[in-house]
Structure 1
Amino acid sequence: MAKVKYYYDAENLAYRILKPKAGRNVGYIVLFLVAAGLFGFLCFVVLLNTPFFETPKDRLQAREIENMKIRYEILNRKMDQVDEVLGNIEDRDNNLYRTYFNASAIPEEQRKAGFGGVNRYKDLEGYDNSELVVNTTKRLDVISKELVIQSKSLDEIAKLAKDKEKLLSAIPAIQPVKNEDLRQMASGFGYRSDPFTKIRKFHAGMDFSARTGTPIYATGDGVVVTADNKASGYGNHIVIRHGFGYETLYGHMSKYKVKAGQKVKRGDVIGYVGSTGRSEAPHLHYEVHKNGEVVNPLNFYYGNISAKEFILISKLANQENQSLD
């Protein structure tokens, strides 16, 4: 039962019942309804943000997020495998390939260097799983950079290998006259007695004694730069430029089979033994030059003779006898 309220009527000196206005009750009802609505809305928002109340869309998004995490985990495992394989390749590159070709190793800090300067991953920050996404992206970028560096290194190794192949072909590595065609190893590199003056002087090559007309072979790949008889003392002679600082000279030929500017391969017949120029008997005078200086040809006969033959030729060549030119 509602309480009855009274007020004092001073004119009539009596208490009278206070009657409420009709509109006030309506206002109270409206205020209650508004308050109840706000409270209900607040409770609804709170429930939406708790795990106790999920919509189908929320459940779908949650599954997609978990699926994304699993995929990132798989991706990181695959990158572990790529990183291991790449590490093995880098190790062989530094300690095998680059060592063999006398190339400097690529420093580890250069291979593993990150990306400085501007934050490349700012757009990926600020989300619930930003750390996972950013770290994975960074790692993928570093591996990509390592692959680029390794690819360039292998390109360099391939070029060095081609140059090495050219070098091996250019080195004068065989005898210019075959052993079966030799009469004897007449004279070696070093001080010898001059056949004409009988004075001891430096002999800049090796003399191969053979019959006139015996074939003479190019000892390495190269280009003929001289094929004439204009040089004093050598008679008919040939000079081949092999590249990499190597040149060879073949003197006292009866005739030559090549001309200046012609490319030759190791083993090609370039002329024939003779006794032209300042010569005492039919033979080939053979010289090897490296970077403009004469070197002992004996150090290069590893391409077509056995160890036993090399020892025999070495003994004969080192005898301080008389040269044939």
Structure 2
Amino acid sequence: MSKVKYYYDSETLSYRKIERKKRRTFKFIGLFILAAGLFGFLTMFITSQYIESPKEKALKRELANMQLQYQLLNKKMDEAQLVLEDVANRDNNIYRLYFETNPIPDEQRRAGFGGVNRYKNLEGFDNSKLIIESNKRIDMLQKQIVVQSKSLDEIAKLAEEKEKLLAAIPAIQPVSNEDLTRMASGYGYRTDPFTKVRKFHYGMDFTAPRGTPVYASGDGVVIRADSQSSGYGNHIRIDHGFGYISLYAHLYKYNVKKNQKVKRGDLIGFVGNTGRSEAAHLHYEIFKDDERINPLNFYYGNLSAEEFDELLKHATLENQSLD
């Protein structure tokens, strides 16, 4: 049972009973409910702004981890870019320079992608910029790797060709120094032994006894081994590829036949005195792109510096040739 409350009336100098009006009671109840609702709303608002739920905390951790992973990915791409740039620099300034081929321009290595927007499907997210930039960098790295890979394939092919070229060039003296009597005559103007007229001598004459071994000066294929060329007598011609042909004339006999493959240093024949020849010797010529050139420039394969100087001294004397 509720207590009855009184108040003191100063006018009547007596206590009066407090009469509670129902309307006023409802008003207080309404105000209380409104205040409670407002307090609850403010509490929820403040909580949502400053106090994270477990799900929000998990999402925030996931987002922070994703951003960290993207940063690590970009760091790895920076490192990959540096390595790729170093390979490209070696490619242009060492490998391509050595094999005498044109470098790849930076514009070609770093060319972008034209046409439609390749990254439209990545737009509209909170971290779209980060995702798009990372994808662009990956795509650029992939393209540069493809360009570099094709370049290295080309370099490998050039290296293989270079190796074949180095083996094919007629780079050794066709008669061993131990077997030589003397170096009779070199490339240039000489006195003809038969007409005594000064004329151009297109090869080198190596004087040696009949039957002295003659060696192939480079890898190649025998294209002739006959006596059907005027003045050369029994002679051999070897096609070395790359425009090089070597000729060995006045032979006593052959040790090879037409279409036979030979290696540098293989025994191909023997010194003789056939054809237009005054004495037993080997007449040796080199052709490059159908032009006869000085064989003296190619003896780097089996002569020491001293032996080459001695050969040069005799080869440059304007004396009488033997053919």
Q: Which bracket does the TM-score occupy, shorter chain normalised? A: 0.7 to 0.9
Return the offset for 1:223. Answer: 0.4
1:52 aligns with one of 50, 53, 59: 50
2:127: which partner in 1?
Answer: 129
Task: Determine the C-alpha separation between the residues in 1 that align with 2:49 and 2:116.
Answer: 39
Could you list the per-position Cα deviations for residues 97-131 of structure 1 after superposition, in whole angstroms to 9, with x for gaps in the alignment? Answer: 11111111111121122212111111111111111
Q: 2:294 aligns with which of 296, 299, 308?
A: 296
Distance in structure 1 (CA, Å) of the matches to 2:46 and 2:164: 79
Inter-CA distance 46–119: structure 2 relative to 1 (3 Å threshold) = farther
Q: For residue 94 of structure 2, what is the aligned residue in structure 1?
A: 96
Deviation at residue 54 of structure 1 after TM alignment: 3.4
Alignment of 1:1-325 (within 5 A): 1=21, 50-325=48-323
Match of 1:25 in 2: none
2-structure distance, mates of 1:45, 1:117:
50
User: Could you tell me how far 1:51 is from its partner in structure 2?
Assistant: 3.2
Query: Identity percentage over the alignment?
Result: 61
Amino acid at match of 2:229: A
Segments of structure 1 that go 5 or more residues without pairing to the other structure are 4-28
Q: Which string of whole-angstrom CA distances, capped at 9 and with x for unpartnered residues, describes residues 76-114 of structure 1?
A: 111111111111111111111111111111111211222
TM-score (norm. length: structure 1): 0.85
Aligned partners of 2:164, 2:92: CA distance in 1, in Å? 23
Q: Secondary structure at the match of 1:51?
A: helix
| SS of aligned partner of 2:277 | coil
CA distance in 2, matches of 1:39, 1:125: 40
Aligned amino acid, residue 133 of structure 1? I
Structure 2 counterpart of 1:15: none
Structure 1 residue 41: Cα displacement:
11
CA distance in 1, matches of 2:43, 2:220: 91
Structure 1 residue 43: Cα displacement: 7.6
The whole-number CA distance in structure 1 between the counterparts of 2:41 and 2:280 is 117
Q: What is the count of residue pairs matched by the alignment?
A: 297
Cα deviation per residue 1:178-225 (whole Å; 9 max; x = unaligned)?
111000011111111111111111111011000000000000000000
Deviation at 1:58, TM superposition (A): 2.0
Q: Distance in 2 between matches of 1:112 and 1:202?
A: 56
Name the amino acid aligned to 1:174. Answer: I
**What per-residue deviation string (whole Å, max 9, x for no partner) do you get for residues 145-168 of structure 1?**
111111111111111111111111
- Please report how far the alpha carbon of residue 278 of structure 1 lies from its aligned counterpart in structure 2 after TM superposition: 0.9
Q: Distance in 1 between matches of 2:275 and 2:44?
A: 112
Matched with 1:21 is: none
Partner Cα separation in structure 2 for residue 265 and residue 58 of structure 1: 78
Aligned letter for 1:137?
N
**TM-superposition CA deviations, 1:255-275 (whole Å, max 9, x none):** 011011000000000000000
Once residues 43 and 77 of structure 1 are traced to their aligned partners in structure 2, the CA distance between those partners, rounded to angstroms, is 45
Instruction: Give the distance between the partners of 2:38 and 2:244, measured in 1 at CA.
Output: 98
The TM-score normalised by the length of structure 2 is 0.86
Deviating 4+ runs (over 3 angstroms): 38-48
SS of equivalent residue, structure 1 residue 69 = helix
Distance 1:131 1:60 in 2: 23
